[in-house]
Amino acid sequence: MNSPKNRPQNSWVPGAAGSSYDVDNLPYGVFTRDEEPPRVGVRIGDFVLDVAPVAAGEMLDSAHVFEATSLNPLMGLGRPAWHSVRSWLVSLLTEETERDLVEPNLVPVGDAQLQMPFEVADYVDFYCSLQHATNVGRIFRPDQEALKPNWRYLPVGYHGRAGTVVVSGTPVQRPSGQRVSTGSTTGPTYGSSERLDIEAELGFVVGVSTELGTQVPTSAFADHVFGVTLLNDWSARDIQSWEYVPLGPFLGKSFATTVSGWVTPLEALEAARVELPGQDPEPLHYLKVDEPAGYDVDLEVLLNGDVVSRPPYSAMYWSAAQMLAHLTVNGASLRTGDLFASGTVSGDEPAQRGSFLELSWGGEEPFGDGRTFLRDGDEVTLRASAPGALGGRIALGEVTGRIEPAR
* Sites for a copy of itself among residues 251-270 (CB under 8 A): 251-252, 254-256
Q: How far is the CB of 38 from a copy of itself (least distance, A)?
A: 19
Termini Cα distance of the chain: 53
Our finding on whether 62 is near a copy of itself (CB under 8 A) is: no
Stretch binding a copy of itself (CB under 8 A), from 40-48, 294-302, 334-342, 367-375? 334-342
* Sites for a copy of itself among residues 158-177 (CB under 8 A): 158-164, 166, 170, 173, 175-177
Q: How far is the CB of 63 from a copy of itself (least distance, A)?
A: 26
Choose the catalytic residue: 132, 159, 224, 285.
Answer: 132
Our finding on whether 242 is near a copy of itself (CB under 8 A) is: yes
268 CB contacts (<8 Å, ≥6 apart)?
A: 24, 25, 26, 27, 227, 388, 389, 394
Cβ proximity to a copy of itself, 192 vs 314, nearer residue: 192
Say which amino acid occupies 330.
N
Q: How far is the CB of 192 from a copy of itself (least distance, A)?
A: 10
Our finding on whether 142 is near a copy of itself (CB under 8 A) is: no
Alpha helix (H) ranges present in 33-188?
A: 51-57, 72-75, 79-94, 99-102, 130-140
Our finding on whether 213 is near a copy of itself (CB under 8 A) is: yes
Query: Which of 77, 388, 395 lies closest to 263, judged by CA?
Result: 395
CA distance 9 to 11: 7
Any catalytic annotation for residue 326?
A: no
- Within 13 Å, how many C-alpha atoms sit on residue 178's CB side? 8
CA of 83: how far to CAs of 103, 260, 407, in Å? 23, 22, 46
DSSP β-bridge partners for residue 114? 31
Stretch binding a copy of itself (CB under 8 A), from 79-87, 119-127, 263-271, 313-321? 119-127
Cβ proximity to a copy of itself, 46 vs 194, nearer residue: 194
131 CB contacts (<8 Å, ≥6 apart)?
A: 315, 346, 347, 348, 352, 353
CA distance 239 to 73: 37
> What are the residues binding a copy of itself (CB under 8 A)?
121-122, 124, 127, 148, 150, 153-154, 156-164, 166, 170, 173, 175-178, 187-190, 212-213, 215, 236, 239, 242-252, 254-256, 281, 284-286, 326-327, 329-335, 338, 407
Q: Which residues are catalytic?
A: 132
